[in-house]
Amino acid sequence: MTSIASVPTSLGTDRGAAVELEAVVKTFGTHRALNAIDLTIKPGEFVALLGPSGCGKTTALRALSGLELVDSGRIVIDGVDVAAVPTNKRDIGMVFQSYSLFPHMTAIENVEFGLRMRRVAASERRTRAEEALDMVGLAAFAERFAHQLSGGQQQRVALARALVTRPRVLLLDEPLSALDAKVRVQLRDEIRRIQTELGITTVFVTHDQEEALAVADRVAVMRDGAIEQIGTPEELYATPLTPFVADFVGLSNRIPADLVDGKVVAHGISMRLLGEPMDDGPITAYIRPEDVALANAGIRATVVASSFLGSLRRTQVVLGDDSRVSIQHDADVRPQLGDVVFLKLKGAAVSAVRRTS
Amino acid sequence: MSAATRLGAEPGKFTRGVILGLIGAVFAIPIIAMIQFTFRDGLAGDYTLDHWTGLVGEDAARTYRGLLQAVGNSVVLAIVTVGIVLVLLLPTMILVHLQFPKLRRVLEFICIIPITVPAIVLVVGLAPVYGVVVRIFGSGAWTLAFAYGITVLPYAYRAIQSNLDAVPVVTLSEAARSLGADWPTVLRLVLLPNLRRGVLAASFISVAVVLGEFTIASLLNRNNLQTALLQVSQSDPYAAVIFALLALTVVFGLLLLIGRFGAPRNRRTE
């Protein structure tokens, strides 16, 4: 592992810009990729766009970068509508999902490229590029070509290249998805550290909810070209406003239940409902695995799978009504397949959806 | 992959040697025969250097003036044809690749057409066109490059397209634009250096095709290397073969240059 320097003064601090997307629409043929999307990002904020494939998160990022021109709506950076401004004049830094280093240039030449476009003098260019490489821990790799760097190193160089020009906004388009798990976590933490030190407004696109919750100040969950919910990671996890968010952010058990006087009643146990209030009647309740526990008595269930996850174990059981439930419990407890266990429900149901049958 | 799992996946050393030997012989035997022929003094005679030394000197310059002029014409034709490939085909292909990927099959179809049309048919179609070309540009030999620009399309297209497919052109250009580069700069500083092998291959293959072209030039009454060689061969077959060998050497040299200068910088510096 290489040593990592703190953020150099040449990269500046507190350069965050306010970003606003107002009623942005983008269609591809008959497909409406962005459906009048609204998003406000504060200066210096780290916002993650999270959602499944095809939800419009990458299109939103590309619209912000100028790589996709929008059909209508406003894209405002620091009070100026840039919707019609070409990419090369938007003053943004971008890191792509696929490795995007210029193969015919060394790492330092790659980092210098943006400064070269801004006609920065050669000596200053070299100094700033060296500092940027130092910041991402790759000062010793300056003269290497892309094919001589690992995937993680290439993405670090790409990050240095995006930041060295002191852009107003940093856009990250799933920059970790091509990396292996360990490097992904390392680089994820590094991105957050650098972003915090620089204070640069950052938009991070990912389909990995763990990644989004770990790094972002706020997470916007997207679905069908619109933002379903935006909030802090804690808000999204604890109080998802819709079943989709409850399902997509974190794990949720879907348990048939009834809503009685605003309370969720499942298998004779009453719980609070955190999501949108609903009329009484049959529902499917969304309950987090940590709100279900093994007990000596309670709801009878049969173990169908159990996985060791390091500090804890996740066990899947089937209830009498055939609904499948995940439980997280101490790794020392090792239920066997076919074992009959008893469950208790605690806490609250995070969300619910009307059950028709 | 272990040697055991690769067993049978490729021909053995002996089989490879036989295949390479046969292919080498197909190419080498005619060339060796040509070389040997240029040193022969008549069919039953001894070997001599006279045919080679006869190409040097004032008399030779007079004798082969038409051939030398034809060589000059072919060089000009090669340059103009390469220019057409670089100025028209290359930017069009990059534009289609980046902005209009749905048109790629159409462009490929158009570029492959010339290989399916016999030269004689092409000339029949080109003859009236050249009536207009002559009125606009005159009857200089270089105007033949318009026709050659069409005949080299299949070869140039394949050479450039294989390079375009191997390079993440879209990502690289988007990265460059996000860093502040305008389109001409993206092309000059990012795309062309990474397409060097394809561009050089297209250029040199175009030169090779132009230097070897006979039918169109002959039927349109233009003087190029091949038509001149035919004329010379009728009076001096030895000189014709020597010039053919020299032309082959030039083309072979060009193909070697592709390997030398076409390699990307990051590979050459290793």
Q: According to the model, what pLDDT value does residue A164 have?
A: 94
* Burial of B264 (C-beta count, 10 Å sphere; 0-12/13-18/19+): middle
Of B172, B185, B265, the CB nearest to A100: B172
Q: According to the model, what pLDDT value does residue A247 have?
A: 85
Q: How confident is the model at residue A5 (pLDDT cuts 50, 70, 90)?
A: low
* Residue in A closest to B174 by C-alpha: A67
Query: In the A/B pair of chains, how many CB contacts fall below 8 A?
Result: 73
Rounded distance, CA A58 to CA A51, Å? 10
Mutation target for B interface from A85, A104, A110: give the one with most B CBs within 10 A. Answer: A104
Res A94 pLDDT > 80 = yes
* Beta pairing partners, B40: B47
Of A88, A102, A171, the CB nearest to B177: A88
Contacts of A162 in chain B (CB under 8 A): 178-179
Of A92, A99, A104, the CB nearest to B178: A92
Assess B265–A contact: CB distance below 8 Å, yes or no.
Answer: yes
For A77-103, what is the mean pLDDT? 94
Rounded distance, CA A292 to CA A347, Å? 8
Res A4 pLDDT > 80 = no
* Residue in A closest to B177 by C-alpha: A88
* Chain A residues with at least one Cβ partner in B under 8 Å: 65-67, 86-89, 91-94, 96, 98-100, 102-104, 113-114, 117-118, 145-147, 158, 161-162, 165, 171
Per residue in A154-205, pLDDT (tens digit) is 999 999 999 999 999 999 999 998 888 888 999 999 999 999 989 999 999 9
Q: According to the model, what pLDDT value does residue A357 have?
A: 59
Res A289 pLDDT > 60 = yes
Ordered by start, the domain boundaries in chain A are 9-238, 251-354
Res A212 pLDDT > 70 = yes
CB–CB of B194 and A104 under 8 A? yes
SS3 A174: coil
Half-sphere exposure of B125 (CA within 13 A, CB side): 9
Q: What is the CB neighbour count within 10 angstroms for residue A52?
A: 13
Contacts of A87 in chain B (CB under 8 A): 174, 177-178
CATH number 3.40.50.720 is the correct assignment for the domain at B63-268: no
Determine contact, residues A76/A20, Cβ cutoff 8 Å: yes
Query: Taking the domain A251-354, which CATH number applies?
Result: 2.40.50.140
Q: According to the model, what pLDDT value does residue A351 have?
A: 80
CB–CB of B174 and A100 under 8 A? yes
Contacts of A86 in chain B (CB under 8 A): 177, 182
What is the length of chain B?
270
Rounded distance, CA A281 to CA A357, Å? 11
* CA-based nearest residue to A77, from A224, A87, A218: A87
DSSP string, A10-75: GG-S-----EEEEEEEEEETTEEEEEEEEEEE-TT-EEEEE-STTSSHHHHHHHHHTSS--SEEEE
SS3 B154: helix
Which carries the bigger pLDDT value, residue A21 or residue B251? A21
Rounded distance, CA A158 to CA A146, Å? 10
Q: According to the model, what pLDDT value does residue B47 have?
A: 86
Q: According to the model, what pLDDT value does residue A1 have?
A: 43
Mutation target for A interface from B99, B178, B194: give the one with most A CBs within 10 A. Answer: B178
Of A92, A100, A162, the CB nearest to B171: A100
Q: According to the model, what pLDDT value does residue B1 have?
A: 44
The contacts of residue A330 (CB under 8 Å, 6+ apart) are A312, A313
Ordered by start, the domain boundaries in chain B are 63-268
Res A276 pLDDT > 80 = no
* Residue in A closest to B266 by C-alpha: A104
Q: Tens digit of pLDDT per residue, chain B (270 long)?
A: 444 455 667 788 899 999 999 999 999 999 999 999 999 887 777 888 888 888 887 788 788 888 888 989 998 999 999 999 999 999 999 999 999 999 999 999 999 999 898 888 888 888 889 889 888 998 888 999 999 999 999 999 999 999 999 999 999 999 999 999 999 999 999 999 999 989 988 998 898 899 889 999 998 888 898 999 898 888 888 888 998 898 888 878 877 876 677 666 665 444
Q: According to the model, what pLDDT value does residue A207 have?
A: 92
Topology adopted by domain A9-238: Rossmann fold (3.40.50)
Per residue in A105-145, pLDDT (tens digit) is 999 999 999 999 999 999 999 999 999 999 999 999 999 99
Q: According to the model, what pLDDT value does residue A8 have?
A: 61
ipTM greater than cut 0.90: no
Res A318 pLDDT > 80 = yes
Lookup: tokens for A293: 């526990």
Contacts of B179 in chain A (CB under 8 A): 88, 93, 113-114, 117, 161-162, 165
Q: According to the model, what pLDDT value does residue A3 have?
A: 46
* CA-based nearest residue to A197, from A132, A152, A141: A132
CB–CB of A94 and B181 under 8 A? no
